[in-house]
Amino acid sequence: MGEIQRRIVIGAGLCIVAFALVGVRLVDVTLMRGHGGPGFEGHAVLARADLTDRNGELLARDLPVKDLYARPHVFWDKGQAAHNLAAATGTDEKRLNAGMANTKHPYVLVARQLTPEQQDRVMHLGLPGLEFEPSAKRYYPDGRAAAQLLGVTDADNNGVSGLEMGLEPQLHAHAGGQVATSIDMRVQYILAHETEAARETFSARAAGGIVMDVNSGEVLAMISVPDFDPNERKLQGGDSTRNVMAQDVYELGSVFKIFSFALAFEDNTMHLDEIFRIGQGLQIGKFTIHEAEHMPATLAARDILAQSSNIGTAQIAMRSGGVRQRAFLDNLGLLGSPRTELPETAHPLYPKSWGTIETATVGFGQGISVSPLSFVASAASVVNGGRRITPTFIKQAPGADNRGPQLIKPETSAQMRDLLRYVVTNGTGKKADVAGYDIGGKTGSAQVPGPGGHYIPHALRTSFAAFFPVHDPRYVVFVLLDQPHGTKETGGFALAGYTAAPLAGKVISRIAPLLGVPNNAPPVTLARGNS
């Protein structure tokens, strides 16, 4: 083979290799990459998942908004540009001027989370060097109804309070999807509506409420008023971001007697028909325990709870003793902070030295301060068969039984349920009764400590813990009014039986049908054809 022919063959070989490469590329482009390229996934993913209630109703969502950045070096007149941009977006002109004067950074953040109207105004300025960056703004369609419970996010869309903070990992893990909470927005609204109405009626400083499933621990509703609008960055007059049901601790007063009686049943230190001497006061050392209301000279044990006698309860509590009482309350979880998905939590306040007088006062709910959420969880354990329950804000499977270890005997729990029903039928909780729903409960009217540590005269913090249906409890409803005032309708009384108990009854009468709790009252009379 000659030299020329050899070169031609080499050239032809190179050509064939080149054609082969071109052919492979053709097949690759036309066949292999014909469908579904990387461009299909260019759609921006939202940073946080939606929050929904247990029925799928939307509670919080990222809405698409735009952040505005400017490149100052392209402006002829930076001062005028800053002035116009400040007017169009409502941002601080001084900050813009300072940013534009800073030559270290090529970009200046003009404004975040622009509304469409603001974007229009900016576009009409006709300025060069402006860039709109896609961003997200958290929006809460129900506004104030669950403000403290859901919490809010900061400008960078990080949760800073409430479930937005407590569920942060889940919300990021399911970004673009949904995270279902245990909240039932129907119940939440009813609780909010009735609590706000009661707060107005009794001119209370603050109010709150919780509805919880006693078997699954799911919190269906939690209200704290005054509240705030989570869609506004600024608080209005009278608004508060504080969740009084989880963040604050209170001396809850007589609702605490539930635990004193449960302890007495556990220790078998009394029977319900035993007669106790009440008298005018109970002297313990240099202290005298008095009643909030006039009481008979003697009361049977069951009526001590029904009529909410401090003196009778103190005697019952002292039979078990301080050491036993403290261990019992500790076992119920009242001396620790409840661990839930809510970041807001409060540590209880209780006596360092737990002597006789402390045993007596703790017995009727003074001298110990716990958060309402902690109280609700412990009270649920008393009626749910005596097993520990931990509140949760995450939706559980239908009919979930998350009850933990046995804390008190099932027999004690059954006795307490009967006794709590007796309080509503024959005691201070009568105004909480709703025909057909077998409500059990306990009132609490606690004195309110002032800034100096002394109790404020005539100031009360009233509460009511209701359980329904009491003989096979499914839900606990707890309501609290801070310093309510009596009205003409209540005869000037502001005690829990006149303020908190009717509130609980109204809430239950509205939520029970929604929650599918059967009404066992006989149907009302149906009259023929008199429409």
Partner 1 sequence: MVRVLNFFCVGFMGLAILALYHVSEATRVARVELDRTTRQIADTNGQISVLQTEWERVAGPARIQELAQQQLGMSDTTSVHLSSFDQLPRRGEAAPLGDTPLHNASAVVPSGAAPSATNPGPTSNLGPSSNLGM
- 458-477 residues in contact with partner 1 (CB under 8 A) are none
By C-beta, is 367 or 505 nearer to partner 1? 505
Nearest approach in angstroms of CB 63 to partner 1 is: 6
Nearest approach in angstroms of CB 232 to partner 1 is: 14
Q: For residue 528, what are its two tokens? A: 């023929």
Selected from 48, 54, 61, 442, the binder of partner 1 by CB under 8 A is 61
Binding window for partner 1 (CB under 8 A); candidates: 157-165, 189-197, 420-428, 472-480: 189-197
Q: Is 24 in the site for partner 1 (CB under 8 A)?
A: no
- 229-248 residues in contact with partner 1 (CB under 8 A) are none
Q: Is 519 in the site for partner 1 (CB under 8 A)?
A: yes
Nearest approach in angstroms of CB 497 to partner 1 is: 17
Q: Is 320 a catalytic site residue?
A: no
Residues contacting 291, CB < 8 A, separation 6+: 278, 309, 310, 311
Regarding beta strands 108-114 and 130-139, do their DSSP bridges make them parallel or antiparallel, or are they unpaired? unpaired
Residues contacting 295, CB < 8 A, separation 6+: 278, 307, 309, 311
Selected from 1, 32, 297, 524, the binder of partner 1 by CB under 8 A is 524
By C-beta, is 218 or 433 nearer to partner 1? 433
Q: Is 112 in the site for partner 1 (CB under 8 A)?
A: no
Selected from 181, 308, 374, 509, the binder of partner 1 by CB under 8 A is 509
Query: With contact defined as beta carbons under 8 Å apart, do 89 and 68 qualify?
Result: yes
Binding window for partner 1 (CB under 8 A); candidates: 182-190, 216-224, 234-242, 250-258: 182-190
Query: With contact defined as beta carbons under 8 Å apart, do 443 and 463 qualify?
Result: yes
Q: How far is CA 259 from CA 120, 314, 375, 452, 460, in A?
A: 62, 12, 10, 29, 21
Query: With contact defined as beta carbons under 8 Å apart, do 100 and 72 qualify?
Result: yes
Nearest approach in angstroms of CB 163 to partner 1 is: 17
Selected from 169, 238, 452, 529, the binder of partner 1 by CB under 8 A is 529
Residues contacting 382, CB < 8 A, separation 6+: 258, 259, 262, 332, 408, 412, 413, 416
By C-beta, is 74 or 514 nearer to partner 1? 514
Partner residues linked to 213 by β-bridges: 475
- 62-101 residues in contact with partner 1 (CB under 8 A) are 62-64
Residues contacting 227, CB < 8 A, separation 6+: 144, 147, 148, 239, 240
Q: Return the H-helix or E-strand segment holding 16.
A: helix 3-27
Q: Is 18 in the site for partner 1 (CB under 8 A)?
A: yes
By C-beta, is 63 or 155 nearer to partner 1? 63
Residues contacting 319, CB < 8 A, separation 6+: 264, 267, 269, 270
Nearest approach in angstroms of CB 2 to partner 1 is: 12
Nearest approach in angstroms of CB 470 to partner 1 is: 16
Selected from 351, 436, 449, 486, the binder of partner 1 by CB under 8 A is 436
Q: Is 501 in the site for partner 1 (CB under 8 A)?
A: no
The count of other CB atoms within 10 Å of the CB of residue 94 is 10
Selected from 17, 24, 44, 456, the binder of partner 1 by CB under 8 A is 44
Rounded to whole angstroms, how far apart are CA atoms 136 and 66? Answer: 7
Q: How far is CA 134 from CA 24, 62, 108, 113, 294, in A?
A: 40, 12, 16, 9, 67
Q: Is 268 in the site for partner 1 (CB under 8 A)?
A: no
Binding window for partner 1 (CB under 8 A); candidates: 33-41, 86-94, 106-114, 467-475: 33-41
Binding window for partner 1 (CB under 8 A); candidates: 135-143, 241-249, 264-272, 277-285: 135-143
Q: Which of 419, 411, 407 shows the shortest CA–CA distance to 381? A: 407
Q: For residue 337, what are its two tokens? A: 């902070």
Catalytic-role residue among 161, 182, 254, 445? 254
Contacts with partner 1 by CB under 8 A lie at: 5, 8, 12, 15-16, 18-19, 22-23, 25-26, 29-30, 37, 39-40, 42-44, 57-58, 61-64, 139, 141-143, 145, 185-186, 189-190, 192-193, 433-436, 506, 509-510, 512-513, 518-519, 521-531
Active site residues: 254
